[in-house]
A = this chain, B = another copy of it.
Amino acid sequence: MKGEIINVGTEILIGDILNTNAQFIAKELSSAGISVYFQTTVGDNPDRLMSVLKDSIKRSDLIILTGGLGPTQDDLTKETVAKLLGLEMEMHTESYDKMMSFFNKIASKMTQNNLKQAYMPVGAHIIPNENGTAPGVLIESDEKTIIMLPGPPRELIPMFRDFVMIYLHGKSPDKFYSNYYKVSGIGESALEDMLIDIIDKQTNPTIATYAKPDEVLLRVTANAKTEDKAKKLLDEMDSIITDRLKDNIYAREDISLNNLVARLLIDTNTTISLAESCTGGLITSRLTETSGISKCLHSAIVCYSNDSKEKYLGVKKSTLEKYGAVSKECAEEMLRGLLENNNTDMAIATTGIAGPTGGTEDKPVGLVYVGIAYGDVIQVEKYNISGNRQRVQLKTANIALNLIRKQLVNL
């Protein structure tokens, strides 16, 4: 099946908003085995929209339009599609009632303009919108399917996932199932290299990666005539992926590493203290994004100077003089200082050279020591991290978060 995406909106055309809908829809359609050959953005202009529609209906089986369903005179997507297909517009009572009750709820008056949103092309299926006033519209005509959705992503995304995908899967004789993997410690392109042979020949299951800084979501989607067959396909791919990515997979759901580690600490009632030098508070700040962490995280020291390492953590002057602040010995004393002062179950210490200045031949930029104390064990590892200051700090924080994770899940 050939699909095509048309985003309607002058705000996109003049660059006022970033078109994230096109990527979202493209990815979803690809995972459902639909080939997307064109994405077009056109303004709120009926003539230009009509010219795009005429091209698209010639070359594609499925056309997804976004935007132009609102209440203003500019919003002409439904009307233009109806004209293309020779359909009249009629009042859709259910949408009218729903809109009325929405406006009553927010104690606001429905205007004549809003009424426009309840008019639909004759014979159209209506897609409910739980997060806004403009319903979506689906029309099947001459073997072609045209789907119109509102532009705001918070309305579009749930409508797409809860309705459009189910409709598309339903049109297919097959069943679709997905596995999710959250990966840390490998960048997106390195991850793709590790899976390149299966990505290159992917047909079923399909594999999609969604990258955030130093965190990648991998989605594997299989389809088959029966649930059992689809799951068998997923299981086969699962052993390959698990084997190659090993413990870089930190979750099998879409959760951030910060949030997962904070939840692990909370769920296991593990108290933690931190001494951050080169990461400058980044690890602590990421852990405190999660509500409820206060019962585990009592305090942290950002000990940027040698003085502060001595004063707050009891690192010995002689250690700093003999080995320097960026050393295994210093990291160990930072951990011991934390445990003595705070009596927590776990302690984390980082010290390193984030750069771009401050590196020497012996201790180059990117040299980092990360230490963890847990149970009776104190363990400090040395890392050489490439990249700019931001990347050294980010990677160091992720190494520390992964160390906590591995201790708590006993990897």
Main SS class of interface, A: mixed
A27 at the interface (CB under 8 A from B): yes
Residues of B within 8 A of A12 (CB): 22-23, 26, 39
A303 near B292: Cβ-Cβ < 8 Å: no
Residues of B within 8 Å of A390, CB to CB, are 289
Docked complex: A277-300 residues within 8 A CB-CB of B: 279-285, 287-289, 291-294, 297-300
| B291 engages A299 (CB within 8 Å) | no
- Measured CB to CB, the nearest residue on chain B to A36 is B13
B-contacting residues, A250-289, CB 8 Å = 274, 276, 279-285, 287-289
A209 at the interface (CB under 8 A from B): yes
Per a CB cutoff under 8 Å, which of B25, B281, B299, B357 touches A282? B281
Contacts of A294 in B (CB 8 A): 304-305, 358
Say if the beta carbon of A184 comes within 8 Å of chain B.
Answer: no
Residues of B within 8 A of A284 (CB): 280-281, 285, 302
A sample of 6 cross-chain residue pairs with beta-carbon separation below 8 angstroms, ordered by A number, consists of: A13-B37, A18-B20, A280-B288, A281-B283, A281-B300, A294-B305
Contact call A304/B308, Cβ cutoff below 8 A: no
- Contact across chains for A389 and B13 when beta carbons are under 8 A apart: no
| Binary per-residue interface labels of chain A (36-64) against chain B in the complex, 1 for a CB within 8 Å, 0 otherwise | 11111111010010001001000000000
Flag if A42 contacts B48 (CB, 8 Å): no
Query: In the complex, what distance in Å separates the CA atom of A276 from the CA atom of B294?
Result: 13
Q: Does A304 contact B297, Cβ atoms closer than 8 Å?
A: yes
- Name the CB-closest residue of B to A298: B305
With most chain B CB atoms within 10 A of its CB, the pick from A14, A354, A358 is: A14
Q: Which residues of A, 179-217, contact B by the 8 Å Cβ criterion? A: 208-209
Q: How far is the CB of A404 from chain B (nearest CB, A)?
A: 16
Copies in the complex: 2
Chain B residues whose CB sits within 8 angstroms of the CB of A24 once the complex forms: 15
CB distance from A231 to the nearest CB of B (A): 25
Q: Which B residues are in CB contact (< 8 Å) with A279?
A: 285, 288
B residues within 8 A CB of A302? 274, 281, 284, 288, 297, 299-302
Residues of B within 8 A of A208 (CB): 15-16
Q: Which residue of B lies closest to A42 (CB)?
A: B38
CB distance from A5 to the nearest CB of B (A): 8
Q: Which residue of B lies closest to A13 (CB)?
A: B36
> Are the C-beta atoms of A287 and B280 separated by less than 8 Å?
yes
Give A367 to B241 CA distance when docked, in angstroms. Answer: 46
Residues of B within 8 A of A299 (CB): 301-305, 307-308, 311-312
